[in-house]
Structure 1
């Protein structure tokens, strides 16, 4: 007997990966180890006659000789399959887009690719093998990719994910159905937990990264705590959010982590707690253990693995060109054109920063036929500055807030550099911006 299965709390990517794997392995039985997330459950309730998933309790496990495991390779996440997965006479094939954990399930074949969704890997194989899809199958698979990539907006989204979605649309995927089933509606339990998290959360800094930790006790398991954690991350201005949920009924602590920055790899952090996931989203569950002790343990791990964010001092232009307040506008224009720059800081006789002039200011002087006038009559005197120790994110925020293209960098009151929109864009897109 062959079975296809995934992690215990099945999301859209897990469901879609199982559906896609069943197209590749039509003799295998799709099996659920536990339950589906609420939106997945709604989708399957409507499509019950098309997509069937047998509960593991109905499967004679002693007859299983092959397991096709999708969207996970972590043993603790498929705990009720552990005795079978470790048997020598059972073949294991894994399809996954998560980084392989340190103690990964041993497999005869493991197809691991760095894409946004496991469904993408399987859709690529279906396309290569020219296996036809019905519009409903294509819709189910597109749901998996959209859900796990945040509608193709998460950082881990790749060109392969976009190409897979395009292929599924050519197979008839229905965008209206996708939008309907991806729509998230908060339950009263989720709203109550979110409110308690907001009230109890603690914020602190690790290596100049803003961290938020929330912890609540829950009387029973509540569906889709990942959604609650994501909403908290959206509301609060933090680089990473860690939520501890203590299930009193099961005596288990669920840790769900979300990162908004490359400086904090929550997947690596959760591996240390027996879980796993991506650099930006990960989780773990721990039998027993006090919340206080677990939070202290997380704090120690954060200090070890958190990377300091890029600072202004690391990418600013230094030394910086500057002009005196008595320089004629015509000379300023020539200097800008020669050096292909759009703005210049202005200093007084003591070398102190007193203003800044842009190409727009020069154009105003030209229109008024005042190119002979000194720059002090056209410079901007209300200057926004930044320090070398400030983060690049702060520089970006200041530029957006004040609609300015450059920030002089001051250290102990002295002009030491300048950072421009172009510098920010080069880092944002990791390439030279024209």
Structure 2
């Protein structure tokens, strides 16, 4: 029996579920959670979603986003089954949730990261797909349940996010077929794009302007980096949510192979985001710092200031960089 069938049988056999995903939620983690929530509730299951961090405002258009709770409401809740989505390790859902959200029966782990641990009792991990939303699409299809407009909106959002709006190399022919099927459910692709990427407050642009002032490149122009420290966040009245996407501004520089961004995450801690174009596996670089991700997009947390964290990551990146003759 394949893993899809096993998971669907578990769903049939149980009635209470909790869903969670990685800290700092993004389009794929949010979309996959909401699609699974909708799928399970249509099967008359009792379902709750718990995330460590709040959902960014640009995802508030998604159906059921307001069903996502934070750890403070857990209050000893223990479902029969815990479904963890888009998290390469259990602790990626947050320290508190990873310890307190304990199922009575089993944990189901569904992920697509190359660095994924098989921490679940059942692990549906496919590293050759675009996103966790792609896996959830296939799971729902296998169940015989209609995708429907609400679930299609959530799934398309996640796939769009993790493929960089279908720009990345993970935008396979299968991904485009799935996207077409989701569009056929009646979703508004132009509205989804605008809500996620085209509806920013002016403070975000002011933060971008300050971040770009820190831009630096190696002499050959192949590595570019910038930073957002706490002073910038305070001055522009922004949060970590407003940093999303800034790194793409420097990856687009013609000479750049690797883009790196450091953001003040907590006192003495920096959040590193990395993107690459063709040659460098940034997932491996971030793994050296306890993080992970994909070959072309990855991240990690480093217990150093932004400047010191950047210095450490840049030195490691130089070792991975492939220089053309």
TM-score, structure 1 length as denominator? 0.62
Q: Any conservation in 1 of the 2:28–2:159 contact (CA below 8 Å)?
A: yes
Q: Any conservation in 2 of the 1:120–1:160 contact (CA below 8 Å)?
A: no
1:283 aligns with 2:299: yes
Match among 233, 240, 244 for residue 226 of structure 1: 244
What whole-Å deviation, never above 9, does each CA across 1:346-394 have from its counterpart, x for those lacking one? xxxxxxxxxxxxxxxxxxxxxxxxxxxxxxxxxxxxxxxxxxx3xxxxx
Task: Give SS of 1:141's match.
Answer: helix
Query: What's the CA shift for 1:235?
Result: 4.9
Match among 67, 72, 79 for residue 57 of structure 1: 72
Uncovered stretches (5+) of structure 1, i.e. residues with no partner: 310-388, 390-434
What whole-Å deviation, never above 9, does each CA across 1:111-160 have from its counterpart, x for those lacking one? 12211121111111211222023323222221221222122221122222
Q: Any conservation in 1 of the 2:28–2:86 contact (CA below 8 Å)?
A: yes
Inter-partner Cα distance in structure 2 for 1:76 and 1:193: 30
Query: What's the CA shift for 1:65?
Result: 4.1
Inter-CA distance 38–233: structure 2 relative to 1 (3 Å threshold): farther
User: Which residue pairs with 2:152 in the alignment?
Assistant: 138
TM-score, structure 2 length as denominator? 0.81
Inter-partner Cα distance in structure 1 for 2:172 and 2:109: 20
Query: What's the CA shift for 1:40?
Result: 0.6
Q: Which has the higher contact order (CA 8 A, sep 6+)?
A: 2
Inter-partner Cα distance in structure 1 for 2:80 and 2:106: 6
Inter-partner Cα distance in structure 1 for 2:194 and 2:225: 32
User: Which residue pairs with 1:31 in the alignment?
Assistant: 50
Task: Give SS of 2:213's match.
Answer: helix
User: Which residue pairs with 1:272 in the alignment?
Assistant: 288
Inter-partner Cα distance in structure 1 for 2:115 and 2:40: 23
Query: What's the CA shift for 1:250?
Result: 4.3
What whole-Å deviation, never above 9, does each CA across 1:220-266 have from its counterpart, x for those lacking one? 5331423111123235641111111224x6443111111122x1111
Inter-partner Cα distance in structure 2 for 1:140 and 1:212: 33
Inter-partner Cα distance in structure 2 for 1:62 and 1:130: 30
Uncovered stretches (5+) of structure 2, i.e. residues with no partner: 1-15, 234-238
Inter-CA distance 53–71: structure 2 relative to 1 (3 Å threshold): same
User: Which residue pairs with 2:269 in the alignment?
Assistant: 252
1:111 aligns with 2:124: yes
Query: What's the CA shift for 1:84?
Result: 4.0
Inter-partner Cα distance in structure 1 for 2:118 and 2:77: 19
Matches within 5 A, 1:359-378: none
Inter-CA distance 59–229: structure 2 relative to 1 (3 Å threshold): same
User: Which residue pairs with 2:86 in the alignment?
Assistant: 71
Inter-partner Cα distance in structure 1 for 2:152 and 2:139: 14
Q: Any conservation in 2 of the 1:190–1:222 contact (CA below 8 Å)?
A: no
Query: What's the CA shift for 1:14?
Result: 1.4
User: Which residue pairs with 1:367 in the alignment?
Assistant: none
Task: Give SS of 1:132's match.
Answer: coil
User: Which residue pairs with 1:201 in the alignment?
Assistant: 215
What whole-Å deviation, never above 9, does each CA across 1:292-344 have from its counterpart, x for those lacking one? 432332133223333334xxxxxxxxxxxxxxxxxxxxxxxxxxxxxxxxxxx
* Greater radius of gyration (CA): 1
Query: What's the CA shift for 1:62?
Result: 5.2
Task: Give SS of 2:218's match.
Answer: strand
Matches within 5 A, 1:15-414: 15-26=30-41, 27=45, 28-41=47-60, 43-44=61-62, 47=63, 52-61=67-76, 63-79=78-94, 80-84=96-100, 91-101=106-116, 104=117, 106-113=119-126, 114-204=128-218, 210-219=222-231, 220=233, 221-235=239-253, 237-247=255-265, 250-261=267-278, 263-286=279-302, 288-309=303-324, 389=325
The number of aligned residues is 298
Inter-CA distance 62–297: structure 2 relative to 1 (3 Å threshold): same
Q: Any conservation in 1 of the 2:20–2:93 contact (CA below 8 Å)?
A: no
Inter-partner Cα distance in structure 2 for 1:132 and 1:238: 43
Inter-CA distance 62–180: structure 2 relative to 1 (3 Å threshold): closer
